[in-house]
């Protein structure tokens, strides 16, 4: 008998610490869980997918389009003409439905594939903080800070708005409108709500970056900045 196998009479065999059965059984979950965590972190801090549910942004964004929204753009970085996704519950005084634990988990999973919350809206920034936005100028165009602006993203022949308004955007708020002006519930439709339909900067989720579906329309989304607008309102006679 060799020294390696010999042991004193009555001595027990060396014991091995067994690995907990539960850890062995669920080890396969570590990979998918890590991937899910990575996706959630990217979605929360870098880019978020969204699907377009309505015709309010036609013809720039069509129903069924899938877009990625950059969360790296801060409200201070936004320009007139940028397309943004935002939580409209505060700006548009929307009722936020109560959700149970199961529904919350289901919606979290759906959000990974671009389905946003019912209160998530996509619109174009028209007025920045401090801007005076008016409809309409004498020639029928939208007026910002006393200057009539061209809006190439509005369908040919469509009017900038059938509703007249004259508003001054408060600090840290934004006036937003859909490109399909006749079918968009935007800042105009909520002038009578608290906040007058202006979107707080803190509620802006991000700026639309790229369309990834359908593949035939893959690419950047035209932002249409209105660079010729003065930064401050133009003084008027008697004002």
Q: Are strands 66-70 and 204-213 parallel, antiparallel or unpaired?
A: antiparallel
Residue 123 pairs in a beta bridge with 84
Tracing tokens 């990575």 back to the chain, one arrives at 38
Q: Is pLDDT above 80 for 1?
A: no
Q: Is pLDDT above 50 for 2?
A: no
Between 206 and 2, where is the model more confident?
206
Residue 226 near residue 78 (C-beta atoms within 8 A): no
For this structure, is 12 an active site residue? no
By three-state DSSP, how is residue 73 classified?
Answer: coil
User: How far apart, in Å, do the first and last CA atoms of the chain sit?
Assistant: 110
Query: Residue 33's pLDDT is what?
Result: 52
Residue 68 corresponds to which tokens in the numbers above?
A: 């990625």
For this structure, is 56 an active site residue? yes
Residue 132 sits at φ, ψ, to 5 deg, of -105, 120
Please enumerate in sequence order all residues whose Cβ is within 8 A of that of 144, keeping only pairs 6 or more positions apart, or say none: 80, 126, 127, 131, 132, 133, 134, 226, 229
Query: Residue 25's pLDDT is what?
Result: 62
Query: Residue 22's pLDDT is what?
Result: 56
Tracing tokens 């900038």 back to the chain, one arrives at 160
Binned at pLDDT 50, 70 and 90, residue 38 comes out as very low
What average pLDDT score do residues 23-37 get?
57
CA distance 103 to 82: 33
Between 17 and 2, where is the model more confident?
17
Query: Residue 13's pLDDT is what?
Result: 53
Between 6 and 212, where is the model more confident?
212
C-alpha dihedral (107, 112, 113, 116), degrees to nearest 10: 50
E strand residue ranges, the chain? 47-51, 66-70, 83-87, 120-127, 132-135, 143-144, 147-148, 165-168, 173-177, 199-200, 204-213, 219-220
Mean pLDDT across the chain, nearest whole number?
A: 80
Of the residues 15, 34, 54, 56, only one is catalytic, namely: 56
Residue 14 corresponds to which tokens in the numbers above?
A: 């060396």
Q: What does the DSSP assignment read for 109-152?
A: HHHTTT---TTEEEEEEEE-TT-EEEE--TTSS-EETTEE---T
Query: Residue 77's pLDDT is what?
Result: 94
CA distance 204 to 195: 15
pLDDT in tens, 154-187: 999 999 999 999 999 999 999 999 999 999 999 9
What average pLDDT score do residues 10-39 get?
55
Of the residues 54, 89, 115, 123, only one is catalytic, namely: 123
Residue 228 near residue 234 (C-beta atoms within 8 A): no
By three-state DSSP, how is residue 85 classified?
Answer: strand
pLDDT-wise least confident of 85-99, 155-169, 209-223: 85-99
């Amino acid at each position: 008998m060799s020294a390696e196998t010999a042991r004193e009479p009555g001595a027990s065999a060396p014991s091995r610490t067994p690995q907990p059965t539960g850890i062995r059984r669920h080890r396969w979950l570590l990979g998918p869980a890590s991937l899910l965590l990575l996706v959630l972190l990217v979605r929360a801090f870098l880019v978020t997918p969204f699907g377009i549910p309505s015709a309010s942004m036609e013809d720039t964004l069509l129903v069924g389009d899938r877009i990625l929204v950059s969360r790296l753009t801060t409200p201070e970085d936004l320009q007139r003409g940028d397309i943004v996704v935002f939580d409209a519950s505060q700006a548009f005084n929307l009722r936020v439905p109560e959700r149970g634990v199961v529904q919350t988990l289901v919606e979290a999973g759906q959000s990974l594939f671009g389905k946003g919350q019912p209160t998530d809206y996509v619109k174009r920034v028209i007025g920045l903080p401090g801007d005076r936005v008016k409809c309409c100028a004498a020639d029928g165009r939208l007026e910002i800070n006393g200057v009539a602006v061209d809006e190439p993203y509005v369908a040919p022949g469509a009017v900038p708005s059938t509703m007249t308004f004259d508003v001054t955007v408060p600090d840290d708020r934004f006036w937003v409108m859909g490109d399909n002006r006749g079918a968009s519930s935007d800042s105009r439709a909520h002038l009578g709500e608290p906040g007058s339909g202006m979107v707080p900067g803190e509620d802006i989720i991000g700026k639309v970056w790229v369309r990834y579906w359908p593949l035939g329309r893959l690419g950047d989304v035209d932002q249409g900045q209105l660079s010729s607008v003065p930064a401050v309102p133009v003084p008027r006679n008697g004002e």
